[in-house]
Structure 1
Amino acid sequence: MNLARFARRRYTPGATPIEPMPHLTKALGGPELFIKRDDLLGLTGGGNKTRKLEFLVADALAQGADTLITVGAVQSNHCRLTLAAAVREGLKCRLVLEQRVPDSYDKTASGNNFLFDLLGVEAVTVVALGDDLQAAMEKIAADLAAEGRRGYIIPGGGSNPLGALGYVACAEEILQQSFADGVAFDRIVVASGSAGTHAGIVAGLIGNSAGIPVTGVNVRRPRAEQEANVLRLAREVAALAGVVPEITPAAIECRDEWVGPGYSLPTEEMVEAVRLFASLEGVLLDPVYTGKAAAGLIGMVRSGEIHADERVLFVHTGGSPALYAYQPLFTGDAAF
C-alpha cells in the first residue's frame, strides 16, 4: 500500500497515544488492556471521524466545494466533526439529522446539538427514520447549485472507501506503535456503526499481514447485516488502497449482544462501562458508540471469551461531547 498517493488534510499533529489501562485490567482480572486514544484526534472534541475527514475534505477542496453536506443521527459526532472541518477550512456546512428515535431532536439540547449552533452550522434539516437521506443531501446540493455554490456530499459517518482510508492509515499507525513499544496485541475491539472505522482497520491490518483479529461491537444493526456491511466496505477500501490479499468473511466479526433496545438507547451495561472507564482510568466514553463497545469488551472478558492471558487494544472512537446530553442516566434521574 502507498497511501501517500491520496490527497490528505492533516488535522492531528502526530499519532494518537496508545495507553495501558492497568486499573481496569486489575478490576476485571485480566486480560492486559490498552486503549488507542482516537478521542484525542484533532478538530472540535476529537473522534474517529477526523481521520476520515482528512481524506474526504481534501477531495472536497480539490473539487472546488464551498459547502460540506452530511447526515447523521441526532447528537451525531460525525456531524460535529464535519462542521468543525468546514470551519477549519473556511467552508460552510449544512446538516441533515435523522431522528432514529421518534421526536428525539431538540435544538436546545446539550451535547453535540449545542455545538452545532456554537460552531455556526449554516442550516439543519431534520428528517424521520426511513427517509431517503441521500435524496435529502442531493436536494441541498441542488439548492446550493441554484445559488451558484458548490456542495460536497459526505455520507453518514464518512464511511465510503475514501473516508475509510483514514482507518487503513490508523491500522498502520497502530502497528508502528506496537513495534516501537514492544507491545504485540492479540485482539482489537472497536465500535461498529457506519462501518468505515471497522472496515478500514481490517483492510489495513490484512494489507500489512498483521494477523490480528478485530472484534466489532455493534451499536445499531443485527450481526449478519452489519458483517455484510463491513465486509463490503472493507473490500472496497482494500481495492482503493491496493491491498492484495483477499478479505474473506472470516475476517469480519460483529457482535450485537450489547446493542440493547436500539441505536442510542441506553443499557445498564453501557452505563456501567462508562462509569468504570471514567472512575478507573479517567477516560470519558459516550453512551451511543464507545460506551456500548466498552460494554462488549467487558462482557467478553467476564464470560472468558477473551482470555486472561490476552493483550487487547480498545480503539476509543471518541464522542464524549454527546455524554452531556445523557446526564440523567448517570445521576439516577432516568430509568431504562
Structure 2
Amino acid sequence: MKHPRLNIVAGPTPLVHAPRLSDALGIDLFIKRDDVAGPTFGGNKSRQLEYYFGDALDKGADTILITGAVQSNFVRLAAAVASSQNMHAIIQLENRVPGKPDHYHKSGNVLLSHLLGPEILTYPEGEDETGADAALHERAEALRAEGRVPYVIHLSEGHPPLGALGYVDAAQEILQQGQDFDTYVVASGSGSTHAGLLAGLRGSGSGAQVIGSCVRRDATAQEARIARVTARLKKLYAGAARVSEPDIRIWDGALAPGYGQIGEPARSAIHMVATHEGLILDPVYTAKSFAAIPALVASGEIAKGSRVCFVHTGGLAALFAYEEAF
C-alpha cells in the first residue's frame, strides 16, 4: 500500500563504524547517523514527518498542529518543515519535566522553534496525551471556521502510526547499505521509531534482535505500547504482521529518574561516546538508548564480538537546555 510522502531526509544517512567504542566494548559497533537527518539539527522525527506532511499536503492542509514536551525535537522539526512548505505551524508545548530552571524553557529546541516562527501554545499536563490532542482539535476547529485547512499530528494512541513508516524505510535503508546486524539498539518513547524499525526489519527478512531503551515509561508499560503500535502498523505495512511477541525487547535501565531527567547511566553514555568517537548524545533520548549497550554487553545479553547497530536518533539541540546537569 502506497502512502503519500514528502521527501525531507536527503538521501541515506551515514552508517559508520565506531572503532574505538568497538574496542572498548568488545563488539563490532556501527552507528546509524539519523542525527543528521533533516533540517535544524536533524533527528529521527524527520523520517516520521515525511509521512505526516505527505498526508497533510495530500489533504490540502495549510496548517500543521502538533504537541510535544518543552524541549521536543518533533515540534522543532515540524515547524522547520512547515516553513519550507509555506505552511503555518502551531506547536503546543506540554510541561512534561517539572522543576526545570528558567533557561530550560528558553534555550535549545525552544529557541530554535521561536526562530522558525510558529504559533506556540502551552498545555499544563505532561501525561495527558488525549487532553493535549483535544486542545489541538479545539484550535483546529477555530481555524476551519476561518476557512483554513488544519492537520493534527496526534500525540495519543488510537490513530494510524504514519510516522512508523519512516522507520520501515530506515530499516530497509540500512539493509540496502549492505549491512545487517545481530542487534539493533534504539530509543523507545512514543513507539513509532522502535516499532517501525522492528517491522521494517522483519518485513525485509531480518531476524536481528531490536532492543528499545525506555525514555518515558518502564519496560512493562513500554512493551505493551510497542505491541499496540505494531498492531496498528499492520494496517499500513503488511510486513508488520511478521513481528511476534518475543520480538519486542525492552530495556529500562537508564530510564530513572524519569523522562527528560538524566541519571548516571545516561551521563556516562554521553561522556563515553564523546570521548571515544567525538559524537554527542542528547540527555533525553540517545544517552538513555546508548546506555543500554555497555549494560547489556556486561550482562551478556549482547554477546561479545557480535555486530551491533546503534540508531542515533539525534536531539542535539536539547543538550543546551541541560547545562546544569553537567
The alignment's TM-score, normalised by the length of structure 1, stands at 0.91
- Which residues in structure 2 correspond to 1:65-84 (within 5 Å)? 65-84=61-80
Seen in structure 2, the aligned counterparts of structure 1 residues 259 and 244 have a Cα distance that, compared at 3 Å, is closer
Aligned pair in 2 of structure 1 residues 222, 162: CA closer, same or farther (>3 Å)? same
CA distance in 2, matches of 1:157, 1:291: 25
Is the contact between residue 231 and residue 247 of structure 1 (CA under 8 Å) also seen in structure 2? no
Counterpart contact for 1:273–1:295, Cα < 8 Å: yes
Q: Which residue of 2 aligns with 1:287?
A: 283
Q: Deviations over 1:118-156 (max 9, x none)?
A: 111223223223441111111111121122212110023
One-letter amino acid of the structure 1 residue matched with residue 138 of structure 2: K
Change (3 A) 1:113 1:106: farther
Aligned equivalents of 1:246, 1:189: Cα separation in 2: 19
**Cα 1:160–1:198 shift into 2, 3 Å:** farther
Counterpart of 1:31 (choices 24, 27, 45) is 27
| Structure 1 segment 229-248 matched on structure 2, within 5 A | 229-243=225-239, 245-248=241-244
Match of 2:10 in 1: 13
After TM superposition, the score normalised by the length of structure 2 is 0.94
Ranges in structure 1 where 5+ consecutive residues have no aligned partner:
331-336
| Residue identity in the other structure for 1:277 | V
CA distance in 1, matches of 2:117, 2:62: 15
Counterparts of residues 321-336 of structure 1 (less than 5 Å): 321-330=317-326
* Structure-2 change in CA distance of 1:66 and 1:184 (3 Å): closer
CA contact (8 A) 2:230 2:240 kept: no
- Tell me the distance in 2 between the aligned counterparts of 1:253 and 1:244: 15
The 1:20–1:95 alpha-carbon spacing in structure 2 relative to 1, beyond 3 Å, is: same
Aligned runs of 1:1-336 on 2, under 5 Å?
A: 5-28=2-25, 30-102=26-98, 104=100, 106=102, 109-131=106-128, 132-156=131-155, 160-177=160-177, 179=178, 183-243=179-239, 245-330=241-326
Identity, % of aligned positions: 45
Count of aligned pairs:
322
What amino acid is aligned across from residue 298 of structure 2 in structure 1? R
Measure the CA separation in 2 of the matches of 1:218 and 1:116. 26
Q: CA deviation at 1:103?
A: 5.3
Write the letter of the residue equivalent to 1:325: A
Measure the CA separation in 1 of the matches of 2:127 and 2:188.
20
Tell which deviates more after alignment, 231-240 or 186-195.
Answer: 231-240
Partner SS state of residue 53, structure 2: helix
Which deviates more, 230-239 or 135-144? 230-239
Q: Counterpart of 1:334?
A: none
Alignment RMSD:
1.9
Cα distance, 1:256 vs structure 2: 1.4
**What is the DSSP-based 3-state SS (H/G/I as helix, E as strand, rest coil) of the residue aligned with 2:253?**
coil
Is the CA contact (8 Å cut-off) linking 2:33 and 2:311 kept in structure 1?
A: yes
Contact 2:93 2:120 in 1 (8 A): no
